[in-house]
Amino acid sequence: MTEVQHPSIEALAARLAALLAPGAIVTDPDAIAPWLTDWRRRYHGAATLLLQPRDTAEVRAIVVAARALGVPLVPQGGNSSMVGGATPPADGRAAILSLRRLDRIRRLDPAAGLVVAEAGVVLADLHAAALAERRRFPLSLGAKGNATVGGLVSTNAGGTQVLRFGTMRGLVAGVEAVLPDGTLHDGLPALKKDNRGYDLDQLLIGAEGTLGVVTAATLRLVPAVAARAVAWAGVASPDAAMALLRRMQRAAPALESFELLPDESLAAVLAYLPDARAPLAGRHAWHVLIEVTADVADDDPGALVEAQLAAALDAGEIADAALAQSEAQAEAFWRLRESISDAERATGPAAQHDISVPVETMPRFMVEAAAACDARFPGTRASGFGHLGDGNVHFHVRAAPGTDPAHWYAEQVPVVSRFVHDLVVAAGGSISAEHGIGQMKIAELERLGPPARLHALRAIKRAFDPGQLFNPGKLVALAPDRGSE
Ligand SMILES: Cc1cc2nc3c(=O)[nH]c(=O)nc-3n(C[C@H](O)[C@H](O)[C@H](O)COP(=O)(O)OP(=O)(O)OC[C@H]3O[C@@H](n4cnc5c(N)ncnc54)[C@H](O)[C@@H]3O)c2cc1C
């Protein structure tokens, strides 16, 4: 065991040794090291203490002791944050509070369509538990093998089914959390009606660990998928894709996904995956991936999608389309979409932006913002892909060929990102659609406001956590001398 460096952290470890079950206190640097760097390997923190409680009572004991000793805590789940949200500060004065060992499903009620899952339950395990009862938790994302319930709640995660089921805000029926003063908020009973003032559950959702430590959540389940139809269409423009989206929404209430990608993204994926094939024969400027599901076996989503695609072809909205003829082909279509980030990374460095604008505005924004970036940063290439139906795309500006990655990330990305974010704000949008603010976007949120939002964020943070002990340096910039602001 390596000596603990920081005096207050050393005192915390000593105090907790008498309160926690064996194995909860980790000071071995080799065991802590994997949790000091974020998923994208852009942020590196320091910590000499990692705490891994087994239950809510242990979380409370940790929070009370940390508060008494003034030790900041960084809540951490699967550490899959895209914005450095779970990476401790570099000064080494915080302890990591890992929730991964709170991994029990306390109750699953298929009839009520509710599951009470602890914070450390991994999303893929939650999916499996629901499926065993012929139910589904209708939120999925690329990090499902790592992301935990606590992290999903705390980032208000989205994913590929938001179109039909919404983000975590709509899927969480109640939250259990330990607040910075050590009290327990128990929202698990999942009341359908509850008008006792401010909604604490909703405040904690998307709070990025700055207001409370989520220990469990009651989540909504839906029936397992009985059948699905997955289709690929070639379209001339984002406007044409929007016309198809509206057509599909009118005809198919169970439209779950509507993803748009430019041809260059598909080309990058096909170059990256040697065994992959383009779904359509000809070239198309833009591509759409559609999924419609059925909850009951008698429904035929394939026939519905086929009829709508035929009508769209007749109306000139699409140039060509293919309906997956098997589960394997459906998976192959999705693999193309899910490989875009990896494929584009292989083509060179890029400035990536997870942004949203009003849904109807998105087609124009995608075209005009890309043209503005290409003109402003000669040699770079900008394009967006993703959840058109949610008004949320991943807008990437790829560096000019031959650019030194170190120079690009240190010097150019901040300039490019400010330019893109200014365009987003001018379009009435958000600089963080689904990944959160973390430490990556905290300066941009400060810069772009708006003032009422910033004022409220700071006031709420100060009210909940006046000592700034929960996840310092994330989401809310609260300088110590700003106490009266
Ligand atoms: C490959 C990949 C694909 C992704 N795709 C999507 C996507 O499609 N849609 C989307 O919305 N997001 C996506 N994400 C990001 C997504 O937000 C995270 O994967 C997930 O929500 C975080 O879960 P986690 O358990 O890993 O949390 P962590 O990364 O450990 O933490 C995330 C934040 O939550 C806080 N936190 C974690 N646990 C708790 C807790 N118990 N109590 C209080 N605070 C806590 C942390 O302090 C941090 O601020 C993706 C990430 C990856 C790596």
pLDDT tens-digit map of 244-274: 999 999 999 899 999 999 999 999 999 999 9
Ligand 1 center–CA 434 separation, angstroms: 10
* 179-184 contacts at long range (C-beta below 8 A, 24 or more positions apart): 179/63, 179/211, 179/212, 179/464, 180/63, 180/67, 180/211, 180/212, 180/464, 180/465, 180/467, 180/469, 180/470, 181/67, 182/60, 182/63, 182/64, 182/67, 184/56, 184/60
Ligand 1 center–CA 378 separation, angstroms: 34
Q: For residue 475, give the ligand 1 atom closest to its CA.
A: 49
Q: For residue 76, give the ligand 1 atom closest to its CA.
A: 30
Ligand 1 center–CA 205 separation, angstroms: 12
In a mutational test of the pocket of ligand 1, which residue from 104, 155, 334 has the highest number of ligand atoms less than 8 Å from its CB? 155
Q: Give 348: exposed, middle or buried? Use CB within 10 Å, 0-12, 13-18, 19+.
A: middle
In a mutational test of the pocket of ligand 1, which residue from 58, 63, 80 has the highest number of ligand atoms less than 8 Å from its CB? 80
Residues of the chain with pLDDT under 70: 1-5, 480-485
Q: For residue 214, give the ligand 1 atom closest to its CA.
A: 42
- pLDDT given for residue 341 in this prediction: 84
Ligand 1 center–CA 159 separation, angstroms: 11
In a mutational test of the pocket of ligand 1, which residue from 82, 160, 355, 441 has the highest number of ligand atoms less than 8 Å from its CB? 82
pTM value?
Answer: 0.94
Q: For residue 438, give the ligand 1 atom closest to its CA.
A: 49
Q: For residue 215, give the ligand 1 atom closest to its CA.
A: 41
Q: For residue 78, give the ligand 1 atom closest to its CA.
A: 26
Ligand 1 center–CA 233 separation, angstroms: 31
Ligand 1 center–CA 396 separation, angstroms: 21
Measured from CB, residues less than 6 Å from any atom of ligand 1 are 39, 74-82, 85-86, 99, 119, 141-143, 146-148, 150-152, 154-155, 157-159, 208-209, 213-214, 434-435, 471, 474
Ligand 1 center–CA 206 separation, angstroms: 10
pLDDT tens track for 14-34: 999 999 999 999 999 999 999
Ligand 1 center–CA 77 separation, angstroms: 7
Atom 44, ligand 1: which residue's CA is nearest?
Answer: 209
Ligand 1 center–CA 157 separation, angstroms: 7
Atom 3, ligand 1: which residue's CA is nearest?
Answer: 142
Ligand 1 center–CA 152 separation, angstroms: 5
- pLDDT given for residue 485 in this prediction: 37
